[in-house]
Chains A and B, each alone.
Chain A
Amino acid sequence: MMSLFWIVIRQLEEIEAMAASKKVITRAEWEKKLNDVKIRKEDMNRLVMNFLVTEGYVDAAEKFQMESGTDPGIDLATITDRMAVKKAVQCGNVEDAIEKVNDLNPEILDTNPQLFFHLQQQRFIELIRNGKVEEALEFAQEELAPRGEENQSFLEELERTVALLAFEDVSNCPVGGLLDISQRLKTASEVNAAILTSQSREKDPKLPNLLKMLLWAQNQLDERAAYPRIKDLSTAMLEDPAI
């Protein structure tokens, strides 16, 4: 009996200690740690170059290579082609975009039926936007409908899209969101990602992921310690720990 009692007491003590043991790290200690971190300039340059290349800032990437000596790790001409495709979709020239993708690498659309479907869908949306209803109808029957039959998952999207035909005032109809610029941007970024993947490149730049990781790591650390955080990423200012 007595020994059990002591075990319970000890466990209670441990639990209390855990709760109170949130480590407090002062600003001075934290800054010392920050100063001890070794970060190479060339790695930061690579991170920035990765952003410029992936996001398609081709001129900036070229200048950055000159000014910082950072290797873009890719033929910058391929960015130009990729950006031309992206821009074509963003401007609503989907047919042009499809042609350009096929010029770049015909396998991209052959191996990616979902992307191809979304491009065709976008083409249909653009026809509606331009008031070419008859042409849109024809296109839906010849190009879109067969895709829907091929793949069950496209069918629902297809039905939603074709619903645009049923409304006279498409901008105020329930599926009017498809006519938003954001739909174009979505399709554009999908094409962009597919081209990057075909070039064995990551489809997202590293920087945003690292920023998310920073916020996540800070959240994780919050559970165990009080320390100077950076709340506002754009100013990167340390804020004193709340004790």
Chain B
Amino acid sequence: MAYEDSNSKNGNQDPGLYFIDVARQYSSPVGGETELEPTELNTVKCSGGFLVVSSDKLRVKYTNVNHHGHNVGVIQADRPAPEKRLVYYFEIYVKNAGAKGQIAIGFTNHSFNMRRQPWGFYTVKMFFESIITTKCLIGNVGLRSSTLFASFEWEANSCGYHGDDGNLYRGSGTGEAFGPAFTTNDTVGAGINYASQEFFFTKNGAVVGAVYKDIKGLLIPTVAVHSQNEEIEVNFGKKSFAFDLKEYERQEVMKQQMAADKISLPPIVSYELVRSYLLHNGYEETLKAFDVASKNTIPSIYIAQENGFGEQHIAYALAQRKAVRQLIRNGEIDSALSKLHEWYPQIVQVNTIYRMVPVFSRVFYLICTAGALEEAVHYGRIELAKFFKLPGFDDLVRDCAALLAYEQPHQCSAGYLLEESQREIVADAVNGMILLTDPNVKDAQSCLRSHLERLLRQLTVCCLERRSLNGDQGEGFHLHRALNTSTAGRGPSANTLV
């Protein structure tokens, strides 16, 4: 019952509006979330006096002559590491290990205080540790009543890999044996693996080790120099890394895929989904070829079952949908419209005319594409004007009109309308509208979205929801990215897209 209710609600969503939303997507870039990445060092907030930062803000040199434990030169990146991804990573190149090679690389959080909290950098650790612990305790008595718990929390705000002893320092604790030491000419990297919730470190392109990430919240890439003439170059990804990050990410994706691989799918479900997708969209020729070929490969019992119920609605008016789609793809919009008039006069009636807005606006740009500018202007004046006053469409109409104003409309901000993919969207809109004329249609949603699309939406939302329950860290699912990620390994001409 509940399902029926929600269907009727969805039925109210206007398909015209729906496709306008689809079209709008194209005015924004693909790939979903774009988080700003660290690009340079933060010269405002750093332990001043002991170090010099180059003008490109990517090189640091320790200049202080006197070696005091607390004169450490710590410097953070300008932004925290992005979280909504699988892995974040950056590198340093040790140009000069200086007097003592006490260089360190790692992450700190916002509460990390570079003047007071030394990130375990002191060589004279014992002395300072006692002071820090006292500070923590005193500080927390004021803040919270449960002293023990909170003091540990407060300290866990950094994690760094040190060059002189290869140790790992977390919070202000003593170093733990971790990896090899590093020195002049070494390239060292630090990364966060959000899937496994670990920090990992590399030396000269090889992973040194990983450790559980016990710091919550945003983390800032951080480096430190501590003895005279120590000099490092930071690489936030502008140059290629010594470490093969792509391969590391690929391995990580494989791990996830392996967990999913244990799940078995019902037989031929992929085949069914492809077939219903072709039907839904009216790709009739493809469907025919697909059916001919699958006669030989798919056991016939499945096909017999599958052509049964539940598919009539997407097989509705297949030939007509195919014909109109083809005309639109070829840019023959006038013919497409006259066919629509002939076959589905109800679609073009006055009360539904606003549903046709996407069609008209596309017609307009198609003429633009063909270079018949005068005709386009004329057409635009007549047809576009009708839609100017309709609420909800003004931005699209404006974008369409904008195309007229440019000599090279492809390059203007409304240029996305001229992309060939827009024809496909117009064709989809018309396809959906024809499907809606089926008197047997109960669920408007199914006219607008193929089964495949519904599953992909479900997958996307499940992944997002899971991430939001995991403190908003890690990768979401984006079809666009999934398609461009190759798991085929590094073949000579393997997919190089990201």
Which A residues contact B (CB, under 8 angstroms)? 3, 6-7, 10, 23, 25, 27-28, 30-31, 33-34, 37-48, 50-52, 55, 57-60, 62-64, 66-69, 197, 200-203, 205-221, 224-225, 227, 230, 233-238, 240
Contacts and interface: CB of A to CB of B under 8 A. Distances in A.
Given A3-B146, A43-B480, A51 B270 contact: yes
User: Closest 9 CB pairs between A and B?
Assistant: A200-B491, A216-B260, A59-B289, A236-B451, A217-B462, A60-B289, A60-B290, A236-B454, A214-B459
A206 B420 contact: no
Given A43-B479, A46-B483, A214-B462, A202 B488 contact: yes
B259 interface: yes
Given A209-B257, A212-B260, A44 B452 contact: yes
A25 B462 CA distance: 11
Given A66-B285, A206-B482, A240-B2, A217 B10 contact: no
Contacts of B479: 39-40, 43-44, 47
Contacts of A42: 421, 424
Contacts of B146: 3, 6-7, 10
Contacts of A58: 293
Nearest to B493: A200
Contact of A40 (B149, B283, B462, B480): B480
Interface of B: 2-3, 6, 9-10, 22, 25-26, 30, 32, 146, 149, 256-257, 259-261, 263, 265-266, 269-270, 272-274, 276-278, 281, 283-290, 292-294, 297, 306, 310, 322, 325-326, 329, 420-421, 423-425, 428, 450-466, 469, 477, 479-480, 482-483, 486-488, 491-495
Given A38-B25, A200-B494, A240-B3, A48 B261 contact: no
B22 A41 contact: yes
Q: Chain B: interface secondary structure? A: helix
Given A31-B6, A215-B263, A200 B488 contact: yes
A70 to B, nearest CB: 9
Contacts of B453: 39, 44
B424 A68 contact: yes
A144 B3 CA distance: 61
Contact of B30 (A40, A52, A60): A40
User: Taking each of A33, A69, A206, A211, which has the highest tally of chain B beta carbons within 10 Å of its own beta carbon?
Assistant: A211
B461 A34 contact: yes
Contacts of B270: 51, 205, 207-208, 211
B418 to A, nearest CB: 15
Contacts of B278: 48, 64
Nearest to B465: A221
B487 A202 contact: yes
Contact of A210 (B272, B421, B459): B459
A153 to B, nearest CB: 22
Given A33-B464, A58-B293, 6 more contacts: A39-B456, A44-B453, A68-B281, A202-B487, A210-B455, A234-B272
A30 B454 CA distance: 12
Contacts of A57: 289-290, 293-294
